[in-house]
Amino acid sequence: MSTFGTLTRGQFPSILTETHASPMTQPFWDAAKEDRLVAPKCASCGTFRLPPSPYCFVCRQRDVEWVELPGTGAIYSFTVVRHPLHPDLADACPYVSGVVELDGTQGAGARMLVNIIGCDPDTVKIGDRVAITWEHVNDEMSTPRFRPIPA
Amino acid sequence: MTIKDKAAIVGVGATPYYKRGQSYPESEFSMACSAILSALDDAGLTADDLDGFSIYSNSCDPAAIAAELGVPEVRWATTLTSGGGGCAGALGVAAAAVDAGMATTVVTLMTLQQLSKRLGGSAVGGMLAYALMSESSSPYGGGGIPPSAAFTANNGLLSPGHSFAQIASRHMHLYGTKREHFAEVCISQRENAIKRPTALRTEALTLDDYFNARMISDPLCLFDYTMESDGAVAVITVAADRAKDLRQPPVYIMGSAHGGSGRWGPALFRYFQTPDDEFTSSGHRPVARRVYEMAGITPSDVDVALLYDHFSPMVIMQLEDYGFCPIGEGGPFVADGNIRYKTGTIPVNTHGGNLSEAYIIGMTHVREAVEQLRGTAVNQVEGAEIALVTGGPASLPVSASILRK
Ligand SMILES: [Zn+2]
């Protein structure tokens, strides 16, 4: 067995197993445990920001409301990681990781950088529709991944 | 009022360039001292004259070096924040220091020994360090894993290449840029390196070699990546009026800028907040505008461009961002032979760059710019009078300087 446990090709292992959440990020991780994607939306101007952060980068206000998102989106960019950075990651390669723009948000500023699983590394392309899928790492943490929405 | 032509680079010094880890038993510290002494000597100066450090990426500890070399008094010690993006901009800070009279003789340097570490992070520790990069740069902070890190830690984006591949992919998607275009950057720079005794990669590189190479992180293959190497390079900046009396012909700093768009921000490994029109760029557009404005020139005035080339696609995006071709046309621009030494309209990385000569985090580019303007470069661009040198693309600040003879 590798340093990283049993590996699945195309899936980067969860090397972080605790969220290290703060009060500002806790709602995201609480919802994650229930397979829901929520994001903070600026109470003043409506701009989403992910990861959650203290200030809105548009209006510099702090108050947010947590909004549930559909958890779907489109691949904005991606890479196919073919060379394992650690020998014990060989069985996970190739895997696809990229930038996803989320439906229901303004895009930039609320993008997610994620491992996109269950896709063909040789045909995946920018613009492909994807949906979130949560990996329950343990009782405390669920980590987001995306997978293609069949056309 | 600007620093235009107020200061000049008067000395350059370097250690040999080594393949990664092969500089042992030298150390980063000993190589820094060697490069500085050699740069001072090149200028006809000694450590008794040295009184300033304008560095980037915390390349050295000025305190330790000043003590080691018996520098009588340090009057200026600054570093630009972040990493290699600050390389060319540190020259501007040096120029500002001597122009303001706050120091007289300022060194800018990088020293690098990758004996046990790799910037790309080959060990699990390195991966975690990248995955969990903190938003704080304070050495006094509590450390630990910041809450924002959990949002990216398990996504498999671990090395700089994984990050730059995202930008390259989107450039291909938006503009039709092809791997053949990346190949031309690599092949043209290799051609330049082949003739240089300092270059670490001098075997011929063909298009077939390029396409037969291992893919590392699509669309990047092995040859699209910088090599990792050891060595040190230092340059000395003094006020322009003093430069005339020193040993070497002065290389004047016509313009310098560092920074970038706020929302380019840390860019890499983060959530790519960058607005859509900047995402697919080198992050250099604001810096390009300011450096040309200070120098009072346009891209067509530049005779040779030394563009930071950690990843080949970023050379193409810098060609766009520095106005050598329209946005999105960098691929066809290089394919048409425009960056070739001798035959191109704007020779790029005549020293071979990070891709083929050596990777000393941008300082080899500064050295080459100075040699081109002194007329002593191995691949001398005939009649070169103005050189552009850049640092980054990376986390803000990225930077550029325009130098002239
Ligand atoms: Zn707002």
Catalytic residue among B175, B252, B308, B322: B308
Asked if A82 and B124 come within 8 Å (Cβ–Cβ), the reply is no
| Among A residues 102-131, those touching chain B with beta carbons less than 8 Å apart | 107-115, 121, 125-127
pLDDT greater than 70 at residue B136: no
Provide the pLDDT confidence category of residue B121 given band limits of 50, 70 and 90: very low
Provide the pLDDT confidence category of residue A42 given band limits of 50, 70 and 90: very high
Is the separation of the CB atoms in A131 and A149 below 8 Å? yes
Ligand 1 centre and the CA of B263: distance in Å? 15
* Residues B288, B286: Cα–Cα separation, whole Å: 5
CA dihedral sign of residues B321, B224, B32, B269: positive
Q: What's the pLDDT score for residue B277?
A: 85
Give the residue-averaged pLDDT of B308-321. 98
In chain A, where are the structural domains located?
A: 26-148
Provide the pLDDT confidence category of residue B138 given band limits of 50, 70 and 90: low
Beta bridge pairs of residue B390: B400
pLDDT digits (tens, 9 = 90+) for A100-110: 999 999 999 99
Burial B54-87 (b: 16+ CB within 10 A, else e): bbbbebbbbeebbeebebeebbbbbbbebbbbbb
Give the residue-averaged pLDDT of A1-15. 88
- In the chain, the amino acid numbered B347 is P
Strands (E), B159-297: 215-218, 220-221, 229-239, 251-259
> Residue B127: closest CA among chain A residues belongs to which residue?
A85
* Residues B188, B186: Cα–Cα separation, whole Å: 6
Give the residue-averaged pLDDT of B244-251. 97
Q: What's the pLDDT score for residue B142?
A: 54
Give percent above pLDDT 90 in chain A. 87
Average pLDDT, chain B: 93
Is the separation of the CB atoms in B298 and B304 below 8 Å? no
Q: What's the pLDDT score for residue B135?
A: 53
Give the residue-averaged pLDDT of A116-120. 97
Asked if B132 and A16 come within 8 Å (Cβ–Cβ), the reply is yes
* Residues A86, B333: Cα–Cα separation, whole Å: 37
How high is the ipTM of this complex? Answer: 0.97
Give the residue-averaged pLDDT of A36-59. 97
Q: What's the pLDDT score for residue A24?
A: 94
Of A86, A113, A126, Cβ closest to residue B157: A113
> Residue A112: closest CA among chain B residues belongs to which residue?
B271
Asked if A108 and B220 come within 8 Å (Cβ–Cβ), the reply is no
Q: What's the pLDDT score for residue B391?
A: 97
CA distance, residue A100 to nearest chain B CA (Å): 10
* Helix or strand run (H / E) with residue B181: helix B179-194
Residue with tokens 């600026």: A42
pLDDT greater than 80 at residue B124: no
Provide the pLDDT confidence category of residue B270 given band limits of 50, 70 and 90: confident
Give the residue-averaged pLDDT of B365-391. 98
* Residues A59, A47: Cα–Cα separation, whole Å: 9
Average pLDDT, chain A: 95
* Residues A133, A39: Cα–Cα separation, whole Å: 16
CA distance, residue A73 to nearest chain B CA (Å): 15
Give the residue-averaged pLDDT of B89-104. 98
Ligand 1 centre and the CA of A41: distance in Å? 8
Asked if B215 and A83 come within 8 Å (Cβ–Cβ), the reply is yes
pLDDT greater than 90 at residue B266: no
pLDDT greater than 50 at residue B42: yes
CA distance, residue B169 to nearest chain A CA (Å): 6
**Cβ neighbours around B370 below 10 Å, total:** 27
pLDDT greater than 90 at residue B290: yes
Is the separation of the CB atoms in B232 and B14 below 8 Å? yes
- In the chain, the amino acid numbered B114 is Q
Give the residue-averaged pLDDT of B180-193. 98
Residue with tokens 């200030």: A55
Ligand 1 centre and the CA of A63: distance in Å? 8
Asked if A16 and B153 come within 8 Å (Cβ–Cβ), the reply is yes
Q: What's the pLDDT score for residue B119?
A: 52
**Full-model pTM:** 0.96
Computed on alpha carbons and rounded to an integer, the radius of gyration of chain B in Å comes to 20
Asked if B147 and A22 come within 8 Å (Cβ–Cβ), the reply is yes
Measure Cα distances from B257 to B53, B253, B389 in Å. 18, 11, 11
Ligand 1 centre and the CA of B137: distance in Å? 26
> Residue A11: closest CA among chain B residues belongs to which residue?
B156
- Chain B residues with CB under 8 Å of A137 CB are 154
Is the separation of the CB atoms in B167 and B317 below 8 Å? yes
Q: Which residue of B117, B124, B135, B155 to mutate against A (max A Cβ within 10 Å)?
A: B155
B359 catalytic? Reply is: yes
Give the residue-averaged pLDDT of B209-231. 97
For residue B113 the two structure tokens come to 């020994």
Asked if A16 and B165 come within 8 Å (Cβ–Cβ), the reply is no
Nearest C-alpha neighbor of B366 from the set B65, B4, B14, B5: B14
Is the separation of the CB atoms in B148 and A28 below 8 Å? no
- Chain B residues with CB under 8 Å of A80 CB are 215, 217-218
Q: What fold is seen in the domain B177-224+280-393?
A: Peroxisomal Thiolase; Chain A, domain 1 (3.40.47)
pLDDT greater than 60 at residue B51: yes
pLDDT greater than 90 at residue B283: yes
Computed on alpha carbons and rounded to an integer, the radius of gyration of chain A in Å comes to 16
Give the residue-averaged pLDDT of A17-26. 92
